[in-house]
Structure 1
Amino acid sequence: MKKIFFLSTISAVILMASCKKDLNQVPISNSTTATFYKSPSDFLQGANAVYADLHNYPVRLLNMSEIRSDNIYGVSVTVRDWDPVNDFSPSLAANAYVTEAWATDFNGIFRANTLLDQIAKNGSFIGSALLATRLQAEAKFLRAFYYFDLVKYFGKLPIIDHPVTAPEANTINRSSVPDVYKLIIADLQAAITDLPTSYTGVDVGRATKYAAEALLAQVYMAKSASNYGIEGPGTGSNEWNLALPLLQDVINSGQFAFNPVYSSVFSYTNQSPTTNKEAVFDVMYTSGISGSADLYGASFPWTLAPNTYFLSIKDTKSNGSLEIIPVSNDLANSYAAADTRKAFSLYTAGYTNAGTTEIRPFFKKWLDITKIPTASRFDWGINYIAIRYTDILMLKAECILHGAPGAQGDVDAIVNQVRTRAGLPSVSGVTLDQLFDERRREFADEGLRWFDLQRSGNLLTIMNAWIAKEDAQKAIKPVVANYVIYPVPQTQLDAAPGLYSQNPGY
């Protein structure tokens, strides 16, 4: 397994440190961009630094998509950072998760801009036009990846497509969502043209043409969805027919495959992208690097699992969340008795710690208690599949149901492939509502649910019906259209007072 070397947030305009996926790399010291980019390895390290800001991406998905959705009923005894996310507080601007999302994604964007600028200015030092083109395409893919993540959370964004100083950044206002999408789409179209279809050796795991195609399809689909009357990720553009050929090209490539065993998709012994054919694009981690667990290892496996569970099995390294973040009864009860995904994804057996018994279920999809790290709870050794082949298939079905070329039989075949793997009988005449219902169970604990709800056009109806049924403590506020996206972080409003207006409702 390879690693993503995560770096603390720094100004990528001034400093560039390194992030290496191969195991024998040593980070460079603080070099200025003016003196750093002088050899091919410098540019490779610069590219790896852009990948580094993916390190917290899966944790963010779980905290801001899974917890926000009807998959979690997260009312805590002591107010935690996830509570206002789960209960739709209008006072989220200073929330740690919201602040991290904006800061980390933009740090990745700044690093990508720096790399692109240096390739333009000093690309002759790379020595290979082919490598220069590939690194440029990787930077554009990642810049698009970070901007797409941001637009789904925040709507309008400042468009920064070149290196800027901090004072300059404080003069750039937010642009409209359609304009943000123009940059994302242009970057991905360029990446598709110039990225290789596969890699060998230490480069395995970098963005490929097929990862870029899959991401662009997701962009068109998010853009096509309902706008809910706000300036969020949906624009009602109805571009499902643009997404479908991209998804089909990934399918036709032959490089990826539907794993017939659900648990194997998430196995710690099936981590290489060359063997795990479900992985179209991974965020990669490696455990056991002495003194560097926070840089190389993963923490997302326990993000939605409670520390008290780990204590109950005599693990004392404080793995797990401060309190239980329970799976909603609605989700737990939605699994058919024969559905094998429930037992794999949800811990439902209950446990006792310090004389207290907990019976509420929690997510455990990414946990293997035989693989608990010995050094640090931040050092789990499993990759996060950011783009999964099963998702490609189900997104294809979604496009067809929205009128893109294809037949009902194609949709049914995809859904039944997923259901058969889960031990369920076949169905026919699958509707969009049924497709999203199946997606909810298939991708539970993978951080997709909130974005699926955004795209479904039924987010408000589904969430408010769920609240009425689930919220016995009356802790969750009614969901209104403004809550489809998050507020602009208070740190950004304070950095340049008057530059940004807050998203309505916050």
Structure 2
Amino acid sequence: MKISYFKNIKTFGKIAFFGAVLSAMTGCEKDLMLEPENNITQTSFYTTELQISQALTGVYSAMVNASSRGGFDVNFYLLASEVRSNNFTALTQNGNRDYYAINRFQDTSSTEEVEVLWEDAYELITYANTILARIDAVPFADNATREQYRSEARFLRAYAYFELMRNFGKVPLIDKPVSPEEAVSIPRTDLATLYDFVTSEIEASVAGLKNTYDAKNKGRITKSAAHAMLGRIYLTGSGYPLNNSSYVAKAKDHLFTVIQGEGQYVTFAPTYADLFKSANDNKYHIFEIQHISGGVSQGSYLPSYVSPTFGTADPLYNAQGSLYSANELGVSQSLINAYEPGDLRKAVTLKTQFIAQNGQPDFANYFIKFREAGAVLTNRYDWPVNFPIIRYEDVILMYAEVLNNEGNTGTAVAQLNRIRQRAGLSPLSASISSSDFTTALRKERRIEFAGEGVYWHDLVRWNIAVSVINQAAADLNYNYTITTNDYLYQIPLSQIQVAGYEQNP
């Protein structure tokens, strides 16, 4: 899908219906056009297998950058998650951009980024709902393809709800196309019901998905992606705030299923650097956002968001490559200090010095993980490297976490040591205590997934975000403290006004 599935798609606009709960999304355009826009209606479009395939492309495309709006990688994983954690330090505020408010826990229901999260997820859900409502009436050459498309749409819809749940808690559950009048009458759904819906949807999707795809369709959801996502969702639900202990065994089963497929369906990359090269897209990650450079509006915005403005003498210089100046939004010293001497991941993940526009060295802490030296871009939203939503290393470390929690620390150590040894670090002792292993694993997850939007959600499900963030704020003499109420974002003001939802505490 990296090369062919998104490559030749053109603009198709307003094919999905947006209710009042999605009111700000009515002008969005997606990449599904097969005939002139003014000739396309919902009735005429969703009538052939090809059109369903094109519409499904639009569901995937909903995760991708739309110019300065960003994409799921920028909005859900960078701003809403990574910037929220103590991996970032927002030092100065640039205009009306929201990274500073999010990092300092000053965001409100009127913060634009909060609105974007809500809109982007429901945009994807709306696209998926439309396909699922119409797919049975469309003739297919074979039923297996129909079930594959249905399964992909169900997975993606459930995944979008999971991101909404992690960021907003209770949200309206809309599983079919609705009218504006219906939309405003749908209340927020309790968390347990949402978890039941999301997990049952992905569980049901597994049978229709393929283990692998040909080169033309690389990037589609696989069985391994479904199992890995279920492992993440169940493990998340076993922690704060749901604390459903029955989910642990389910997480273990799905994670182990993925691990059993190593060498056949999933691949452990030989080096850490191999994970973040566009040449290796769809090779090592289990589920990733597809990016293509070249002015096709499918590139990534993320590398520009997290890098300073380099001078022409710097090896990472790109004329279109940076959004911020140095010292606006930077990697925290806390994260830098967390790396052990000799950790090979550090040089792949971040830098602390660059050549400025005046040709002189400048010092700032910034991520480089998704920035490719020598890339030629049409604009700053055009980076080619795919973004990993979930990768195999996460499965391995989640599985190790479950093993340790059930008392199998020795087996868990072997899993974690695979990650450490690839990073050039000495292995942990097989005789390490369960408590010390927990500490080591939490540190390992922070380092392994730095810059990928994983750590904040880890802190929340472990229910240690309050202590970690408050300590970080105190160390930096920042005048704020947080409570568990700050684990969730405020419901966007526009949705409160339109639908009358109760606000998060």
The two structures have a TM-score, normalised by structure 2, of 0.88
Q: Which amino acid aligns with 2:382?
A: D
Q: 1:349 aligns with which of 347, 353, 365?
A: 353
Unmatched runs of 5 consecutive residues or more in structure 2: 19-25, 65-70
Answer yes or no: is the 8 Å Cα contact 2:31–2:58 preserved in 1. yes
- Deviation of 1:70 after TM superposition, in Å, equals 0.7
For 1:363-413, what per-residue CA distance to the aligned partner results, in whole angstroms no more than 9, with x for missing partners? 11111221141x11111111112111111100101111222xx72122111
- Deviation of 1:343 after TM superposition, in Å, equals 1.4
2:247 is matched with 239
CA gap 1:264/1:500 in 2 versus in 1, 3 angstroms: same
Q: Please show how residues 405-416 of structure 1 align to structure 2 within 5 Å.
A: 407-416=408-417
C-alpha distance in 2, partners of 1:299/1:6?
20
Q: 2:180 aligns with which of 154, 166, 169?
A: 166
Q: Say whether 1:255 aligns with 2:258.
A: no
Q: 1:489 aligns with which of 489, 492, 495?
A: 492
Q: Please show how residues 5-404 of structure 1 align to structure 2 within 5 Å.
A: 10=14, 12-13=16-17, 19=31, 29=37, 31-55=40-64, 56-60=71-75, 61-78=77-94, 80-89=97-106, 91-120=107-136, 122-123=137-138, 125-227=139-241, 234-253=242-261, 254-271=264-281, 273=282, 276=283, 278-289=284-295, 292=296, 295-306=297-308, 308-309=309-310, 313=314, 315-317=318-320, 319-321=322-324, 324-354=328-358, 358-373=362-377, 375-403=378-406
Per the alignment, in what secondary structure is the counterpart of residue 286 of structure 2?
A: strand
CA gap 1:303/1:221 in 2 versus in 1, 3 angstroms: same
- Deviation of 1:349 after TM superposition, in Å, equals 2.3
CA gap 1:201/1:113 in 2 versus in 1, 3 angstroms: same
- Deviation of 1:311 after TM superposition, in Å, equals 6.6
1:231 is matched with none
C-alpha distance in 1, partners of 2:80/2:17?
28
Per the alignment, in what secondary structure is the counterpart of residue 385 of structure 1?
A: strand
C-alpha distance in 2, partners of 1:33/1:310?
49
C-alpha distance in 2, partners of 1:129/1:28?
30
Unmatched runs of 5 consecutive residues or more in structure 1: 228-233
- Deviation of 1:315 after TM superposition, in Å, equals 3.7
CA gap 1:435/1:325 in 2 versus in 1, 3 angstroms: same
Tell which deviates more after alignment, 197-206 or 172-181: 197-206
C-alpha distance in 1, partners of 2:267/2:35?
36
Q: Which amino acid aligns with 2:418?
A: Q
2:68 is matched with none
2:439 is matched with 433
CA gap 1:10/1:107 in 2 versus in 1, 3 angstroms: farther
- Deviation of 1:501 after TM superposition, in Å, equals 0.8
C-alpha distance in 2, partners of 1:322/1:186?
45
C-alpha distance in 2, partners of 1:175/1:8?
32
C-alpha distance in 2, partners of 1:77/1:386?
28
* C-alpha RMSD of the superposition: 2.4
C-alpha distance in 1, partners of 2:311/2:178?
45
Answer yes or no: is the 8 Å Cα contact 2:303–2:321 preserved in 1. no
CA gap 1:424/1:7 in 2 versus in 1, 3 angstroms: farther
C-alpha distance in 2, partners of 1:279/1:378?
22
- Deviation of 1:201 after TM superposition, in Å, equals 3.7
Answer yes or no: is the 8 Å Cα contact 2:13–2:37 preserved in 1. no
Per the alignment, in what secondary structure is the counterpart of residue 180 of structure 1?
A: helix
CA gap 1:8/1:179 in 2 versus in 1, 3 angstroms: farther
Answer yes or no: is the 8 Å Cα contact 1:9–1:104 preserved in 2. no
C-alpha distance in 1, partners of 2:11/2:463?
37
CA gap 1:9/1:215 in 2 versus in 1, 3 angstroms: farther
CA gap 1:155/1:241 in 2 versus in 1, 3 angstroms: same
C-alpha distance in 1, partners of 2:259/2:37?
42
- Deviation of 1:57 after TM superposition, in Å, equals 1.1
C-alpha distance in 1, partners of 2:125/2:45?
19
Per the alignment, in what secondary structure is the counterpart of residue 73 of structure 1?
A: strand
Q: Which amino acid aligns with 2:389?
A: A
C-alpha distance in 2, partners of 1:266/1:83?
27
Answer yes or no: is the 8 Å Cα contact 1:225–1:238 preserved in 2. no
Q: Which amino acid aligns with 2:144?
A: L
CA gap 1:352/1:423 in 2 versus in 1, 3 angstroms: same
C-alpha distance in 2, partners of 1:9/1:437?
45
The two structures have a TM-score, normalised by structure 1, of 0.88
1:230 is matched with none
CA gap 1:202/1:285 in 2 versus in 1, 3 angstroms: same
For 1:168-207, what per-residue CA distance to the aligned partner results, in whole angstroms no more than 9, with x for missing partners? 2111110101111111011101111221111114222111
For 1:216-275, what per-residue CA distance to the aligned partner results, in whole angstroms no more than 9, with x for missing partners? 111111111022xxxxxx44444211101111111112311221211011112222x2xx
Q: 1:451 aligns with which of 457, 476, 481?
A: 457
C-alpha distance in 2, partners of 1:458/1:95?
25
Answer yes or no: is the 8 Å Cα contact 1:341–1:442 preserved in 2. yes
Answer yes or no: is the 8 Å Cα contact 2:15–2:41 preserved in 1. no
Q: Which amino acid aligns with 1:57?
A: F
CA gap 1:312/1:172 in 2 versus in 1, 3 angstroms: farther
- Deviation of 1:319 after TM superposition, in Å, equals 2.5
Answer yes or no: is the 8 Å Cα contact 1:279–1:388 preserved in 2. yes
C-alpha distance in 2, partners of 1:340/1:27?
50
Answer yes or no: is the 8 Å Cα contact 2:311–2:357 preserved in 1. no
Per the alignment, in what secondary structure is the counterpart of residue 353 of structure 1?
A: coil
Answer yes or no: is the 8 Å Cα contact 1:17–1:29 preserved in 2. no
* % identical equivalent positions: 29
Answer yes or no: is the 8 Å Cα contact 1:287–1:297 preserved in 2. yes
Q: Which amino acid aligns with 2:457?
A: F
Answer yes or no: is the 8 Å Cα contact 2:318–2:374 preserved in 1. no
CA gap 1:71/1:224 in 2 versus in 1, 3 angstroms: same
Q: Which amino acid aligns with 2:229?
A: L
